[in-house]
Structure 1
Amino acid sequence: MFVDNGRAITLSDGILMNTFEALEPEMVAAFHSGKAEHGFPPAFDIGPLPPLWVQHSSSSRILRWLDEQPERSVMYVSFGSRTAMSTDQIRELGAGLELSGCRFLWVVRSAKVDREEAAEIEELVGEGYVERVDGRGLVVREWVEQESVLAHRAVAGFLSHCGWNSVIEAAAAGVKVLAWPRMGDQRVNAEVVGASRLGMWPEEWAWESEGLVAAEEIGRRVKEVMHDAKVGEAAARVAMSAAAAVAEGGSSDKSIKLLIEKISK
């Protein structure tokens, strides 16, 4: 599929990219200059596509819980809808979050999006876990409106598999990322997280099916990211760059106008 799609790209009149110049300056410059790959059509960086500011209410229990937490105190933990973890790794992750001492919102999944989630939360995280972390951690298995969560004042960090949508949404919200890529293009995306200073990527953490990452290591890294003020300041600068990109005269704004000009001819 990747090979077929890659060949099909060269037959198109242009490529729309959900990214922005300040996030990936070398990549964007390479596409604009034609140095990325011979024969590629023009590329237009028009991101971030998600809204920079999300108007959210406290209608759901998740947002109500976040409303009760101190500002910039919560680590949001989610690995998307297409990444599943083994029960053993879920238990290590849960123990690591508990050891970190940090507040967290954890979306637990053991099945991929097109498969039914059969196990109860207690079966996945262990008996008594939800009660032990009550007040400091909220563990859910339901669908989460991620943009609203990332835009919430209480959320400071995002432990993520680094799907591209998640990276872009975190960048737009100025939420620092602790990258844990699991498969596909996610390692490439995690490199962007590190290079842009949006967050950090422990490169030694296991790839899908390569073994377990221990609870102690997870807890140490979560605590490190949550308490690192410099990472937070860098993530805030990325968000400012994202807002500037789509503002009048910004890099993405210029790309959109150039696109409109080309297709209007």
Structure 2
Amino acid sequence: MSLDEMKRYCQEAIQSFPSIKLIVFTGGECFLLGKDLYEMVSYVHSYGLKSRIISNAFWANSYDAAYNCLKKLKDCGLTEINYSTGDDHQEYIPIQNIKNAVNASLNLEIITCVNIETRNDRNFGVADFISDDEIKKHLSINRGQFRVIAGMWMPFTEEALKQLPHKDKGTYTIQCGRCENLFESVNIMPDGKMIACCGLASKYMKYLHLGSMCSGKVKLLYDKQFNDFLKLWLFVDGPYKILEFIERKKIEVPE
């Protein structure tokens, strides 16, 4: 997606939905946009909106590198940053990068959140991260500015699916609530397609694809979701209750 396209899509979304308060740059890895990321944060700031970046902090191999990078973004108007880490991330990005980035963003008074992959067989979790003395200190003095959360990590391969515990073993709590994220945001992929929900999994679910920005306006693509019974059902009851209904009624689900 070009810089001009990003600006055009943002402008159209803001004009179509005046209630928008926050623009989020996620991924993949949004820092791969290079200078365009700084330009877009500045562009969002020009509308008086807040901005958030989600990153694995590959660029934070030292405190100075992290500070210099984030200082430029802060000067452009960045208000929030989320860092992602955990077992899979740490195969490529050392946890020290996250610590460098956290130190820098908090010193720059950027609202900071660390999202840690959560699954039963993990080696590294929230408890491991917050046991670090420096992180403990940040949590105690930066209340309201710094959070550490356990994020769900989605399996994308058959092998990863096999590692999930069976519901009958009682080793985890099933989330039975409704899908609260539907209808809450305007999500545009790098290829210009609009999707109904954020997150990596959405890319692999054709049902969540709403159409191309080239073939329709933001509001048109967003509004057509309300003609989709299944999305409304997900929003009201959630996927677990839908699957229970299907099982109870013995409904055959096509591949």
TM-score category, normalised to shorter length: 0.3 to 0.5
Instruction: Name the TM-score, length of structure 2 as normaliser.
Output: 0.34
Looking at both structures, which has the greater relative contact order when contacts are Cα pairs under 8 Å and sequence separation is at least 6? 1
